[in-house]
């Protein structure tokens, strides 16, 4: 993975918002719709873009397509996600996304236990929401 690929993915605000939310754990398309207030087709296209470039992984769990940050994350991606996390702390849009995720997590976990589950401790993906 090279910087060109990462910055191409980072060049869109919706993709940044998706990556920011995935820092807190896996999510399904329907959860992104609720959190970002965007239509399913837009979310799906951005997730496909991120997936094709290796910035997210996906797995099918029954009827759910669950997206997450890569399990084996290259150091260059980890560093850029950490920079994103630090940069969005004062941005009202990203703060709102994080607040909606915190508020919606219990409902997401009930509807799909695999989605929005808190990241495992052994996973090295950076937590990207604020407490």
Q: For domain 3-110, give the fold.
A: Arc Repressor Mutant, subunit A (1.10.10)
SS3 for 56-115, per residue?
CEEEEECCEEEEECCCCCCHHHHHHHHHHHHHCCCCHHHHHHHHHHHHHHHHHHHHCCCC
87-97: average pLDDT: 93
pLDDT at 81 over 60: yes
pLDDT band at 65 (very low <50, low <70, confident <90, very high): confident
97-112: average pLDDT: 85
The Cα 112–Cα 106 span in angstroms is 10
pLDDT at 122 over 50: no
Instruction: Kindly list the domain boundaries of the chain, sorted by start residue.
Output: 3-110
- Give this prediction's pTM: 0.83
pLDDT in tens, 18-44: 999 999 999 999 899 999 999 999 999
């Amino acid at each position: 993975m090279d910087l060109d690929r990462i910055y191409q993915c980072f060049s869109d605000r919706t993709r940044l918002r998706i990556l920011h939310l995935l820092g807190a754990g896996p999510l399904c398309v329907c959860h992104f719709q609720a959190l970002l207030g965007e239509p399913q087709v837009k979310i799906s296209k951005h997730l496909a873009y991120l997936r094709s470039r290796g910035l997210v992984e996906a797995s099918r769990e029954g009827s759910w397509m669950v997206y997450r940050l890569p399990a084996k994350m290259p150091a260059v991606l980890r560093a850029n996600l950490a920079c994103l996390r630090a940069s969005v702390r004062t941005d009202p849009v990203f703060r709102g996304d994080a607040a909606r995720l915190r508020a919606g997590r219990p409902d997401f976990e009930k509807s799909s236990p695999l989605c929005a589950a808190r990241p495992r401790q052994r996973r090295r993906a950076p937590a990207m929401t604020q407490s």
